[in-house]
Structure 1
Amino acid sequence: MSISLSGILSSLTSKPLPPGYSLKPADSESSDSQSTHSPAEQKFLDYMKMSPAERMHAAMMSQLGITEDEYNAMDPAAQKAVEQKIQQMIQQQAEQNNDKRTGLITDVSV
């Protein structure tokens, strides 16, 4: 028994779709579909696009009470001081964690 992809597609497209459904892939967002997102949805989508390291950095900046715009407006010396404070915070969190597995904290600044 063989199944034809064209037969399946034609049977799908011949029937009307329920409201709110589309045959487009979920990840294919056009520029006009992005404009329909609420500010909260857009903030969430931007957050989900971040890497885990970027998320951790954003969380630490939030704990320090610094926004991304404020950070970008700082001079390089102030940015370096903020980065050092974030490194200290991460190291303190790792030390407070009782998990002493090898490689948990690695200094790659050689």
Structure 2
Amino acid sequence: MSVSGIGAPYTPPVSGASSAASSPSTQIGKTSAQDEFLGYMQKTPAERMREAVLGEMGLTEEALKNMDAEERAKMEEKILATIRAKIEESAEKKTGMLLDMSV
């Protein structure tokens, strides 16, 4: 990295195939923290909430897929009820939404 004077044009680093091939995530076969973050941010709020509820229950999507239809239906109902309760709780906790600015 070099330091340039004030007013000097900024030239961003060039990323090409060589940097992708040398990244730790491709060398090891695991995702980097950046990849995980970007994957998380690409999810919808509903997907994030479902993932959080599954984590609280100690489940994964794969575990749900491996359940029989009846057991999975019961778990899906529990997940939906938990998500609804969290949404309602969140809506009730909204404080400071109304503010009287009159003096």
The yes-or-no answer on 1:69 pairing with 2:81 is no
Paired residues for 1:1-110 under 5 Å: 17=11, 20-21=13-14, 33=20, 36=23, 38=25, 39=31, 40-97=33-90, 98=92
1:85/1:37 Cα in 2 relative to 1: closer, same or farther (>3 Å)? farther
Query: Over aligned residues, Cα RMSD in angstroms?
Result: 3.3
Structure 2, gaps ≥5 residues long: 1-10, 26-30, 95-103
Runs of 4+ deviating beyond 6 Å? none
Q: CA, structure 1 residues 96+51, in 2 after alignment: closer, same or farther (shift >3 Å)?
A: closer
Query: What's the CA shift for 1:66?
Result: 0.5
Q: Aligned residues: percent identity? A: 34
Distance 1:83 1:53, change over 3 A: same
- CA separation of 1:33 and 1:76: change in aligned 2, threshold 3 A: farther
- CA offsets, 1:64-94, max 9 Å, x none? 1102221222222222212111121123223
Given the two structures, how large is their TM-score scaled by the length of structure 1?
A: 0.51
Q: Which has the higher contact order (CA 8 A, sep 6+)?
A: 2
Cα distance per residue 1:23-61 (max 9 Å; x no partner):
x9xxxxx9x949946323322222122111111111111
Query: 1-side partners of 2:43 and 2:56: how far apart?
Result: 18
The aligned residue for residue 9 of structure 1 is none
Residue 77 of structure 2 aligns to which amino acid in structure 1? Q
Q: TM-score, normalised by structure 2?
A: 0.53
Return closer, same or farther for 1:74/1:51 CA change in 2, 3 Å cut-off: same
Query: What SS does the aligned partner of 2:59 have?
Result: coil
Describe the SS at the equivalent of 1:50: coil
